[in-house]
């Protein structure tokens, strides 16, 4: 009984570390934790490693590894869509706030000083470089590989990372145009407010 408690207690530490590294998308430390955890389990337990390895067949390896890789690829694709959508929402929200603050209806031409000011302000406030929009796969290969390889931990850290906030923001973004239309309609008779 005590051995079991120590085992699960010791396994909790690398699991928590993997979740933290997955939240911050740190591949190298995650790999080190996995290797050290496997080495510790093999060396410090009575786990029959040789018998386990000899009992594995090519079919088992293909089934389990193939399933893990397939789920990782599916998760990676969904996470990419989610990440691109979040980036779009962040960009649109900042652009609308910036235009409102500056008093413009649309972004200025790309070769003007005003547009350069927008790019600098966007990068400073959100970390988004306009040259990286829309996001390209070739610039995010490491993230994609990380998501595919560590998908269980990335999934859990994504789900724990303020899911309610994301849901509320998504619903507000869907309802913002109709709600803004209602409020604009209610105040349309006040010409001094309609600029």
Closest CA to 29 of 18, 37, 38: 18
38 with 127, same domain? Answer: yes
Same domain, 61 and 157: yes
Residues 125 and 68 in one domain: yes
Does one domain contain both 111 and 172?
Answer: no
10 and 60 share one domain: yes
| Phi-psi label, residue 167: left if phi above 0, alpha if psi -120 to 50, beta otherwise | alpha
What is the count of structural domains for the chain?
2
Which residue range is the domain that position 105 belongs to?
2-162
Q: What CA–CA distance (Å, rounded) separates 158 from 135?
A: 19
Residue 118 sits in the same domain as residue 168? no
For residues 148 and 108, state if they share a domain: yes
Could you tell me if 50 and 71 lie in one domain? Answer: yes
Q: What is the rounded distance in angstroms from the CA atom of residue 149 to the CA atom of residue 146?
A: 5
Residues 58 and 144 in one domain: yes
Distance CA 79, CA 72 (A): 10
Residue 179 vs residues 26, 88, 100, 184, 194: alpha-carbon distances, Å: 40, 20, 17, 9, 17
On whether the pTM is more than 0.95, the answer is no
**In a shared domain, residues 130 and 180:** no
| Residuewise pLDDT in 10s, the chain (195 residues) | 556 777 777 788 888 888 888 888 888 999 999 899 888 877 877 777 788 888 888 898 899 999 999 999 999 999 999 888 888 888 888 888 888 888 888 887 877 888 888 888 888 887 888 888 888 898 889 999 999 999 998 888 888 776 666 677 778 888 888 888 888 888 888 776 655
């Amino acid at each position: 009984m005590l051995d079991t408690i120590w085992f699960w207690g010791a396994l909790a530490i690398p699991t928590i570390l993997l979740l933290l590294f997955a939240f911050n998308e740190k591949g190298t430390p995650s790999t080190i934790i996995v290797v050290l955890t496997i080495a510790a389990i093999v060396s410090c337990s009575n786990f029959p490693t040789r018998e386990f390895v000899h009992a594995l067949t090519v079919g088992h390896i293909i089934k389990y590894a193939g399933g893990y890789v397939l789920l990782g690829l599916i998760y990676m694709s969904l996470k990419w869509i989610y990440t691109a959508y979040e980036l779009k929402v962040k960009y649109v929200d900042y652009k609308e706030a910036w235009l409102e603050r500056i008093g413009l209806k649309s972004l200025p031409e790309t070769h003007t000083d005003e547009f350069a000011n927008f790019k600098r302000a966007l990068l400073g406030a959100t970390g988004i470089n306009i040259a990286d929009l829309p996001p390209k796969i070739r610039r995010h290969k490491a993230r994609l590989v990380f998501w595919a390889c560590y998908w269980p931990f990335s999934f859990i850290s994504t789900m724990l990372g303020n899911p309610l906030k994301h849901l509320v923001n998504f619903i507000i973004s869907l309802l913002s145009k109709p709600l803004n239309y209602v409020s604009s309609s209610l105040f349309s008779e006040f010409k001094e407010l309609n600029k």
